[in-house]
Amino acid sequence: MMGYIVGFVLILLGIYSIATTRDLVRMLISLELVTVGGFAMFAAVSLSNPTLALYGVLILVMISVSEVAVLAALVYRNYLLTRRVDVSSIATGEP
C-alpha cells in the first residue's frame, strides 16, 4: 500500500519537473524519476500479482534503456552544435 503512495508521488513529481525545467539533462533525470516511481508501483503490485510485476519491470527497463540512449545522444549532439544544453537551443538551433 505504501508502495503505491511512494510511486504515485514520485511519478507526479517527475512529470511536474519535466514540465518546469529548461535544462535537457534535468529533463533526462526527471524522466528516470518517473521510471523509478513506476518501479515502486510495480513493487506494490507484486504483492498480489508477481508475474505481472516481473514482466512490467522487464518491459519498463527495456523502455528506459532505449529512451535514455536516445535522449543522451540528443543532448550530446545539441551540445556539440550549440554549446548549450537548453530547450531553447533546440528550438532556435543557434548558440
| Cα–Cα dist 41/10, whole Å | 10
80 touches other proteins by CB under 8 A: no
Q: Which of 72, 70, 90 is nearest to 81 (CA)?
A: 90
Single-letter residue type at 86:
D
CB of 94 to other proteins, least distance (A): 16
28 touches other proteins by CB under 8 A: yes
70 touches other proteins by CB under 8 A: no
Residues near 32 by Cβ (< 8 Å), separated by ≥ 6? 14, 64, 68
82 touches other proteins by CB under 8 A: no
The correct pick among 77, 79, 80, 82 for binding other proteins (CB under 8 A) is: 79
89 touches other proteins by CB under 8 A: no
